[in-house]
Amino acid sequence: SLGIDLVTAVDITLIDAKPLRIPTSINSPLHESQYQIGALLMGRSSSSLKGIIVIPGLIDADFTGEIQIVTHTMHPPLHIPKGSKIAQLVPLQNFTSQACKIPLKEVGVREDASFGSTGEIICLTLHMHNRPEQRVTMTNGSKTITFTALLDAGADIIIVS
């Protein structure tokens, strides 16, 4: 399975439609390579069928606190027993720190500060002299050609002549 199930650590009853944090007793980091693996927290499909709406969230790779599930329902009251599998974590590799090459001490460590931000760093550019390329081999019958292609050029089609 791609997702890792999360269970509720307490019995809880949603008495209105307001979002509520539910503890899981699971602490990050998710992997021993602390600054490489984060996760997307999302609801299980079976939870949706029961009327439980899980608000998706991102668990940063450097977060060390308790993971909490933010949930609500459109049909209160709704009781969620302790040990219910209502959410899942989908692990994600942290490419941002590698791409930006910014020392961790400049970014700051999240530690157990949940529901916040690590800072104001934005790094969404590629160096123009270092574009993503891939060697491609195309075969048509007995003819074969190998060339270097630019990946994700934004074109909907590729024409090779």
Q: Would residue 112 count as lying in a domain?
A: no
Q: Would residue 36 count as lying in a domain?
A: yes
| CATH code, domain with 19 | 2.70.40.10
pLDDT at 40: 94
Three-class DSSP category at 47 = helix
Which residues fall within 8 angstroms of residue 127, CB to CB, at 6 or more apart?
A: none
Asked whether the beta carbons of 136 and 147 are under 8 A apart, the reply is yes
Q: Would residue 41 count as lying in a domain?
A: yes
pLDDT at 99: 60
Determine the Cα–Cα distance for residues 23 and 7; give it in Å rounded to an integer. Answer: 9
Which residues fall within 8 angstroms of residue 56, CB to CB, at 6 or more apart?
A: 40, 41, 42, 43
Q: Would residue 93 count as lying in a domain?
A: yes
> 130 forms bridges with which residues in the sheet?
none
Q: Would residue 135 count as lying in a domain?
A: no
| pLDDT tens column, 55-97 | 999 988 878 889 999 999 999 999 999 999 999 999 888 766 6
Residue-number span of the structural domain to which 102 is assigned: 4-107
- In this prediction, residue 41 has a pLDDT band, given cuts at 50, 70 and 90, of very high
pLDDT at 102: 55
pLDDT at 2: 86
The phi-psi region of residue 11 (left if phi > 0; otherwise alpha if psi is between -120 and 50; otherwise beta) is: beta
Q: Would residue 151 count as lying in a domain?
A: no
Determine the Cα–Cα distance for residues 145 and 114; give it in Å rounded to an integer. Answer: 52
Q: Residue 63 gets which letter from DSSP?
A: B
- For the chain, how many structural domains are there in total? 1
Bond preceding residue 91 cis, omega within 30 of 0? no
Q: Would residue 159 count as lying in a domain?
A: no
The phi-psi region of residue 115 (left if phi > 0; otherwise alpha if psi is between -120 and 50; otherwise beta) is: left
pLDDT at 114: 61
| pLDDT tens column, 106-155 | 555 555 556 666 565 655 565 666 667 788 898 999 999 998 887 766 66
